[in-house]
Amino acid sequence: MSPSAQRIDVHQHVVPDFYRDELAKAGIADAGGRTLPGWSPESALRLMDLLGTSTAIVSVSTPGTGFLTEPADAAGLARRLNDHSAALVRDHPGRFGFFATVPMPDADASATEAARALDELRADGVTLLANNRGTYLGVDGQDGLWRTLNERGAVVFVHPAELPAPPVDGIPAFAADFLLDTTRAAYLLVRNGIPRRYPDIRFILSHAGGFVPYSSHRMALTIANDTARSPLDVLDDFRSFYFDTALSSSPAVLPTLLAFARPGHVLFGSDWPFAPASAGQYFAGGLDTNADPATLTAINRTNAEALFPRLAAAPPTPPPVLPAPVRLRHAMQRPAARLVFKLLQPGTD
């Protein structure tokens, strides 16, 4: 068994056919500048087997249900997506969990659906987009949702959306804007005291938190000056977040993230299928190459087990016995991916 086996992936997406159809009706064919990828349970499991992933906690990516302007339509689609994800978990015991979709920016309807998904469907948490039609997490009017989540000690997976501003020609949203979007949401959550007022919510920030680790001290001093709080307290709030490694386990990002994040607060993420298998292999190889064995084990599995106790209560799902040609192909692909990762690192001159 390789050191990367039995990963728990907290950043993997589902794109059910009925959801793709609803997006198509609204004229939406991409998300964040990437064409909507194909998805099926079978293709997800193949990717998981390639990366050594035991369990994936899946979510719906941007635009969520926010493209529907009728509140009832958005709430109905969120409900349908959550029922679909719950069925996926039931059909593949041990391989999947899910973060529930809620119909933001309607905070009251989102609280209702969050309660249903967590209490009845046994969702592992809730997905919240950093902004929904320009309304960011952390602004006024969301306390009912925060109370609902806090009462349940919920995990909230914060995923970026397209910025509420015209795109810049030549810059796909996923390449840069997504990082800013996550950072904006994290800033407002901390600026407006959400982690302090609702301490039982555990927030996961996608893609290593966007720019949060890199710009944390700059943002902390700004918030402290604005609110008369201690910069150390503000930094502590930023460090209360969890972070995933999706597209982020490079030699430039990973050391910064590990230097900033609290112990136990970094989790493995792939961002499949929006990040193709080659990208997943590239960054998984970077994690395997650049993290020491104890850190690698923690990021791959034990940090997630602490956050999601149900995953620790049962032994990891044994990897399937794959046909010999598939095993051989995987055995060749993994070292090849690590070699590509090393070759693409900048030199020291």
Local mean pLDDT, 10-residue blocks, the chain (349 residues): 72 98 95 93 97 97 96 98 98 97 98 98 98 97 98 98 94 95 98 98 98 98 97 98 97 96 98 96 94 96 97 74 59 56 54
C-alpha to C-alpha distance for 188 and 137, rounded to whole angstroms: 7
pLDDT given for residue 348 in this prediction? 44
pLDDT given for residue 262 in this prediction? 98
- Short-list 126, 204, 130, 189, CA closest to 162: 130
The per-residue b/e assignment along 296-313, b for 16 or more CB within 10 angstroms, e otherwise, is bebbbbebbbebbeebee
The per-residue b/e assignment along 170-187, b for 16 or more CB within 10 angstroms, e otherwise, is eeebbeebbbbbbbbbbb
Place of tokens 């979709």: 101
pLDDT given for residue 349 in this prediction? 47
- Short-list 334, 320, 191, 178, CA closest to 247: 178
Q: What residues form DSSP beta bridges with 242?
A: 204
pLDDT given for residue 314 in this prediction? 76
Burial of 315 (0-12, 13-18, 19+ CB in 10 A): exposed
Amino acid at 250: S
- Short-list 208, 224, 219, 305, CA closest to 259: 208
Q: Would you say how long the chain is, in residues?
A: 349
Burial of 259 (0-12, 13-18, 19+ CB in 10 A): exposed
Question: Residue 260: helix, strand or coil by DSSP?
Answer: helix
- Short-list 63, 35, 26, 14, CA closest to 181: 63
Q: In this structure, are residues 65 and 22 in contact, taking their beta carbons and an 8 Å threshold?
A: no
Alpha helices in 192-267 (DSSP H): 194-197, 212-227, 231-239, 254-260
C-alpha to C-alpha distance for 47 and 260, rounded to whole angstroms: 30
Q: What is the pTM of this model?
A: 0.91
pLDDT given for residue 199 in this prediction? 98
